[in-house]
């Protein structure tokens, strides 16, 4: 089929038999649920972008397997330009949604699995990559969303999978059959899982021989038998149930996370891409992490463009836009954001082909990018809150503004610049509140800190990639030290 439109994507989700729990109840209609729908709208934007002629080169690419044009979120990177176009696309989508559009993890997963499966095949005589290519061609042909699932609950962080009190705290193989495997466990913090057709499951860390049953990678439909989701709570999420839009802050878009539970799920052999090859689990994790850390140089800069714009509007509506300290704070916000952007592009253009032929980002620069992302968005939000002022969190509700008795008083006393309607000022304040404290802070701040690995994970990789011995050799040469 051709590339789906956004509306066709929405209708395709209605055909799935997703098993989703929210607030202790099984959701009857996830597509139209007011808590989930804003996150679905963010994913829909990825389909709408692919239909927009202005963004054809960013949002789509030609598949090396079929020769057909596919959504870039289903593309195997063929060049450094592909890597750069990925982050360019992500920035545009961040600007259009001010949220997490949830497909980056799947794109990063397919590229990591593609190259790792090839090298695993070379070492072990397996046929994982051929299986994976057939699966990917199916997803491309049907323009499906693939969710990438890596993070396990982990239990006791001081113990490997095989030493946990409960073996299910990491996804693992519980039975091997002639025609496939049976897996159990869970994946936590899964962004976009409720809005996906398929998922690729990967190990969450390097494994040893003792952990080989946990060294497993596979794909399956999101509504496969034995799979169910438990949605995560977000700050201010029940505002979406109140009927209005002002207090939500970002009324049309949002993100969503879930716990995915695998209750003895059967996976046929053709959808298994690692089964016990623990020596390649670390490669898969590192490559996925590298791609995903690159992603944050695109998506988070796009979201920050909206935060910076909201801060500038708040200053204008407050009557403070000309203040030198406000101008300086906005400059600092732009400086921080464009630094992240530069890192995202740099690790893309310094990418190199893997043995399988697809392109991998420069891992050192990708980790530098993500290390900065764990810091700069927090400073950008601090400055936005500084510029906005206390009204950010003390504004009355939309119901108060609409009330015939107190509404006129709200309108009178919360107006800033006389020419700007009070409601417009409050909309901007609620948007900033959403990004700094509300549901939007999940996609911007929490993901910036913990998505693609928490800060220490990047520091470990930076240490591995830094090549201090080469740097010491430079100095020895300069000062004529021979040994």
Positions annotated as catalytic residues are 100, 104, 191, 257, 292, 296, 299, 447
Question: SS3 sequence, the chain?
Answer: CCCCCHHHHHHHHHCCCCCEEECCEECCCHHHCCCCHHHHHHHHHHHHHHHCHHHHHHHEEECCCCCCEEEHHHCCCCCHHHHHHHHHHHHHHHHHHCCCCCCHHHHHHHHHHHHHHHHHHHHHCCCHHHHHHHHHHHHHHHCCCEEEECCCCCCCCCCCHHHCCCHHHCCEEEEEECCEEEEEEEEEEEECHHHCCEEEECCCCCCCHHHHHHCEEEEEECCCCCEEEEECCCCCHHHHHCCCCHHHCCCCCCCCEEEEEEEEEEEEHHHEEEECCHHHHHHHHHHHHHHHHHHHHHHHHHHHHHHHHHHHHHHHHHCCCCCHHHHHHHHHHHHHHHHHHHHHHHHHHCCEECCCCCEECCHHHHHHHHHHHCCHHHHHHHHHHHHHCCHHHHCCCHHHHHCCCCHHHHHHHCCCCCCCCHHHHHHHHHHHHHHHCCCHHHHHHHHHHHCCCCHHHHHHHHHHHCCHHHHHHHHHHHHCCCC
């Amino acid at each position: 089929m051709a590339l789906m439109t956004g509306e066709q994507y929405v209708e395709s989700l209605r055909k799935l038999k997703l098993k989703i729990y929210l607030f202790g109840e099984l959701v009857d209609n996830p597509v139209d649920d007011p808590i989930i729908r804003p996150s679905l709208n963010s994913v829909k934007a990825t389909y709408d972008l692919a239909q927009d002629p202005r963004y054809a080169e960013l949002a789509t690419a030609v598949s090396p397997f079929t020769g057909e044009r596919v959504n870039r979120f289903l593309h195997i990177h063929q060049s450094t330009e592909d890597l750069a176009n990925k982050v360019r696309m992500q920035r545009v989508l961040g600007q259009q949604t001010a949220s997490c559009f949830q497909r980056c993890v799947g794109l990063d997963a397919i590229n990591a699995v593609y190259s790792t499966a090839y090298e695993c095949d070379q070492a072990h005589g397996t046929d994982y990559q051929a299986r994976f290519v057939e699966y990917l061609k199916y997803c491309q042909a049907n323009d499906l969303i693939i969710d990438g699932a890596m993070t396990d609950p982990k239990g006791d962080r001081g113990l490997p999978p095989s030493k946990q009190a409960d073996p299910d705290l990491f996804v693992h193989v519980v039975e091997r059959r002639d025609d496939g495997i049976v897996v159990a466990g869970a994946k936590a913090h899964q962004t976009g899982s409720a809005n996906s057709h398929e998922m690729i499951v990967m190990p969450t860390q390097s494994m040893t021989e003792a952990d080989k049953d946990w060294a497993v990678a596979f794909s399956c439909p999101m509504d496969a038998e034995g799979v169910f989701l438990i949605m995560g709570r977000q700050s201010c999420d029940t505002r979406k149930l109140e009927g209005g839009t002002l207090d939500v802050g970002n009324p049309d878009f949002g993100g969503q996370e879930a716990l995915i539970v695998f209750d003895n799920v059967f996976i046929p052999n053709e959808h298994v891409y690692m089964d016990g090859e623990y020596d390649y689990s670390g490669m898969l994790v590192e490559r996925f992490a590298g791609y995903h850390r690159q992603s944050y140089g695109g998506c988070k800069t796009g979201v920050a463009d909206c935060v910076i714009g909201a801060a500038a509007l708040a200053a204008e509506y407050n009557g403070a836009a000309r203040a030198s300290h406000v101008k300086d704070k906005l400059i600092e916000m732009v400086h921080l954001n464009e630094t992240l952007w530069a890192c995202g592009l740099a690790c893309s253009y310094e990418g190199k082909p893997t043995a399988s032929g697809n392109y991998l980002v420069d891992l050192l620069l990708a980790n530098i990018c993500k290390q900065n992302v764990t810091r700069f968005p927090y400073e950008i939000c601090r400055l936005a809150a500084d510029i906005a002022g206390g009204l950010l969190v003390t504004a009355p509700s939309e119901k108060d503004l609409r009330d015939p008795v107190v509404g006129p008083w709200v309108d009178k006393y919360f107006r800033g610049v006389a020419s700007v309607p009070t409601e417009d000022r409050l909309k901007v304040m609620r948007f900033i509140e959403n990004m700094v404290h509300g549901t939007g802070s999940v996609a911007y701040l929490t993901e910036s800190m913990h998505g693609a690995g928490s800060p220490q994970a990047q520091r470990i990789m930076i240490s591995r990639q830094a090549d201090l011995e080469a740097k010491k050799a430079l100095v020895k040469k300069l000062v004529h030290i021979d040994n």
